[in-house]
Amino acid sequence: MTEAGEQEGAGSPVRTEADLGSAPRVEPRGAPRRAAAVAAAVLGALLVVVVAAVTPWHPLSGGRAAADPALDFTREQIARNERFSAAMDGPAYAGLAAGLVVVLVLGLTPWGARLLGRVVRRPSPSDTRPAPWRWGLRLIAVALVLSALTQLVALPFGAWSESVLRRYGLSTQGWGSWFGDRLTGFGVSLVIWIVALLGLHLLIRRFPRHWWAGAAVGGFLLVTAVSYAYPVVVEPLFNSFTSMPAGPLRTDLLRMARADGVPVSDVLVADASKRTTELNAYVSGFGSTRRIVVYDTLLASQSPKEVELVVAHELGHAKRNDVLTGTLVGGLGVATGACVLYLVMTSPRLLRRAGVRSAADPRSTALLLAAVTVLAQAAAPAQNLVSRHIEARADVHSLELTRDPATFAAMQRSLSLRNLDDLSPSPFAYALWNTHPSGPERIAMGRAWARLHHVAVPPPSVRP
Ligand SMILES: [Zn+2]
């Protein structure tokens, strides 16, 4: 039995703050922490090299594309989209700040351990060596409390942004179904948290000094498994998917995919209209779970040529295996993060702040949650930066496939207007939220592509 296993397995029957003071010191120091730090540095460097190598930094070689919203949007349209973005800023920033404050307070003060102590401390005379199921139940209880708490904190801000979406006619959902979505999301994140926590604590018990290595490999595998299973396990919880009905559009789309050399056996339509009026399409999964999905809102409102352009963009993602690459890069990011987490969870200073003695204590999960949240938030701008370049490459692909920059520009314009996208986001908002280039940037790239390929350049849609 390992050191931490002893400590956790022996599990003093009533774990009060005072008991914990006399618990054996188990947090690894010295060599194991140095090994984890080296692993974090090596994986981090590998991550940077891989991201630099796989990101299409110049999706349109030789093309220049300066965005100008005034070319294609009237002053009123620009102002309306700006009003909507400003209204969404409130819940977005306040929700982000509230979520961070709550997890940081729980993780970096003894409050989190105290709160979790209420659910994991079960005074019982027979509890001198908790059975594995009891140990598992404690971790499940911890996951439940922390997931519920973070959901509850996010709830009012989610309701606030939903009310803005309604005011602007973007949401078609009732509050009952909105709440149902939240509950489903909570269930999904809870399952992921439970799997991750049980796995992590198995490793901590088994390898108290070197669990970072197992956590890095396990994190990588978990990301890969979730990304693979997501389209068949999670997406159906939120939407129904049907094959696009037989007809000229379906035939054209499958023909285009074949001509593009992308094996696509079906195009799925999601019943997005039960929730939103927004237009969208996406590719998810990889290997046997890969699918191209278009929103029913897109089919209902756009011309076949415009739908074809959207699907051509998605084929660009499929052809380049963007989901698989993103999954592997994400897995590498999580593996790097696992080594950093080990350093956090074995830091005597941070453990002391969190009011626990060791990562093996289930109550240390509050510190873990704080670290995971901060790492994920810190990575978001870099993820968005890479995502925007990948999206631009898919746009270029759709132009190459259709050679129709006029429809491309019209499509981007109607996407921006329907979805009320911010047409000239501030650099801060752009870095924090934009996974795609802005509408005017995409249209500008369409024009640049046309100039490069000597195809008629789409004229401005708005006369000055
Ligand atoms: Zn895309």
Q: Is the pLDDT of residue 4 over 70?
A: no
pLDDT reported for residue 20? 38
Average pLDDT over residues 250-258: 92
pLDDT reported for residue 22? 36
Ligand 1 centre to CA of 436 (Å) is 8
Specify the amino acid at residue 354: A
State whether 286 and 334 are in the same domain: no
pLDDT reported for residue 126? 54
Residues in contact with 34: Cβ distance below 8 Å, sequence separation at least 6, in sequence order = none
State whether 292 and 215 are in the same domain: no
Ligand 1 centre to CA of 317 (Å) is 7
Ligand 1 centre to CA of 323 (Å) is 10
* C-alpha pair distances (Å), 445 with each of 7, 365, 407, 441, 462: 60, 46, 13, 6, 18
Q: Is the pLDDT of residue 442 over 90?
A: yes
Per-residue pLDDT tens for 358-373? 999 999 999 999 999 9
The reply to whether 13 falls in a domain is: no
Q: Which protein residues have their CB within 5 A of the ion that is ligand 1?
A: 391, 394
Can you tell me which residue has the tokens 């809870």?
Answer: 190
pLDDT reported for residue 56? 96
Ligand 1 centre to CA of 177 (Å) is 27
Greater confidence (289 vs 190) lies with: 190
Ligand 1 centre to CA of 313 (Å) is 6
pLDDT reported for residue 62? 72
Q: Is the pLDDT of residue 41 over 60?
A: yes
The reply to whether 17 falls in a domain is: no
Q: Is the pLDDT of residue 127 over 80?
A: no
Helices 110-120 and 75-108 pack at an angle, to 10 degrees, of 70
Greater confidence (331 vs 129) lies with: 331
Ligand 1 centre to CA of 307 (Å) is 13
The reply to whether 338 falls in a domain is: yes
Residues in contact with 29: Cβ distance below 8 Å, sequence separation at least 6, in sequence order = 346, 348
Residue 229 in tokens: 């299973």
Q: Is the pLDDT of residue 101 over 90?
A: yes
Ligand 1 centre to CA of 318 (Å) is 10
Nearest to 200 by CA among 188, 224, 217: 217
Ligand 1 centre to CA of 48 (Å) is 22
Ligand 1 centre to CA of 411 (Å) is 14
Q: Judging by beta carbons within 10 Å of its beta carbon (0-12, 13-18, 19+), is residue 69 exposed, middle or buried?
A: buried
Ligand 1 centre to CA of 395 (Å) is 8
Average pLDDT over residues 143-161: 96
Q: Is the pLDDT of residue 17 over 60?
A: no
Ligand 1 centre to CA of 393 (Å) is 9
Greater confidence (309 vs 122) lies with: 309
Ligand 1 centre to CA of 338 (Å) is 29
**Please, are residues 166 and 177 in contact by the beta-carbon 8 Å criterion?**
no
Q: How sure is the predictor about 152, in pLDDT bands with cuts at 50, 70 and 90?
A: very high
Q: Is the pLDDT of residue 88 over 80?
A: yes
The CATH number of the domain holding residue 263 is: 3.30.2010.10
The reply to whether 212 falls in a domain is: yes
State whether 305 and 442 are in the same domain: no
The reply to whether 406 falls in a domain is: yes
Q: Is the pLDDT of residue 5 over 80?
A: no
Ligand 1 centre to CA of 286 (Å) is 15
pLDDT reported for residue 133? 79
State whether 48 and 188 are in the same domain: yes
DSSP 289: G
Ligand 1 centre to CA of 394 (Å) is 6
Q: Is the pLDDT of residue 350 over 90?
A: yes
> What torsion do the CA atoms of 430, 435, 436, 437 make, to the nearest 10 degrees?
30
Ligand 1 centre to CA of 250 (Å) is 20
Say how many domains are in the chain: 2
State whether 283 and 356 are in the same domain: no
State whether 448 and 309 are in the same domain: no
State whether 230 and 126 are in the same domain: yes
pLDDT reported for residue 120? 83
The reply to whether 144 falls in a domain is: yes
Q: How sure is the predictor about 11, in pLDDT bands with cuts at 50, 70 and 90?
A: very low
Degrees, nearest 5: CA angle 87-91-92: 100
Ligand 1 centre to CA of 248 (Å) is 24
Ligand 1 centre to CA of 383 (Å) is 14
Helices 304-319 and 248-259 pack at an angle, to 10 degrees, of 30
Average pLDDT over residues 60-75: 87
Residue 232 in tokens: 């068949």
Final residue of a structural domain among 315, 333, 367: 315
The DSSP element (H or E) to which 401 belongs, if any, is helix 365-402
* Residue 262, domain extent: 241-315
Greater confidence (203 vs 126) lies with: 203
Final residue of a structural domain among 298, 315, 332: 315
pLDDT reported for residue 15? 38
Ligand 1 centre to CA of 309 (Å) is 11
pLDDT reported for residue 391? 96
The reply to whether 10 falls in a domain is: no
State whether 144 and 269 are in the same domain: no
State whether 152 and 70 are in the same domain: yes
pLDDT reported for residue 266? 87
Ligand 1 centre to CA of 306 (Å) is 15
Ligand 1 centre to CA of 320 (Å) is 12
Ligand 1 centre to CA of 55 (Å) is 14
Backbone angles phi, psi at 268, to 5 degrees: -100, 150
Greater confidence (276 vs 130) lies with: 276
Range with lowest mean pLDDT among 284-293, 342-351, 413-422 = 284-293
Helices 304-319 and 405-419 pack at an angle, to 10 degrees, of 90
Ligand 1 centre to CA of 421 (Å) is 15
State whether 232 and 277 are in the same domain: no
Q: How sure is the predictor about 263, in pLDDT bands with cuts at 50, 70 and 90?
A: confident
State whether 156 and 277 are in the same domain: no
Ligand 1 centre to CA of 408 (Å) is 14
Q: How far apart (Å, rounded) are the C-alpha atoms in residues 416 and 73? A: 10
| pTM for the model | 0.89
Q: How far apart (Å, rounded) are the C-alpha atoms in residues 240 and 262? A: 24
State the chain's mean pLDDT as an integer.
90
Ligand 1 centre to CA of 388 (Å) is 9
Range with lowest mean pLDDT among 7-16, 212-221, 341-350, 433-442 = 7-16
The reply to whether 118 falls in a domain is: yes
Q: How sure is the predictor about 66, in pLDDT bands with cuts at 50, 70 and 90?
A: confident
State whether 87 and 53 are in the same domain: yes
Q: How far apart (Å, rounded) are the C-alpha atoms in residues 386 and 396? A: 16
pLDDT reported for residue 426? 94
Average pLDDT over residues 158-172: 96
* C-alpha pair distances (Å), 197 with each of 11, 189, 248: 18, 12, 50
Q: How far apart (Å, rounded) are the C-alpha atoms in residues 125 and 108? A: 32
Ligand 1 centre to CA of 23 (Å) is 53
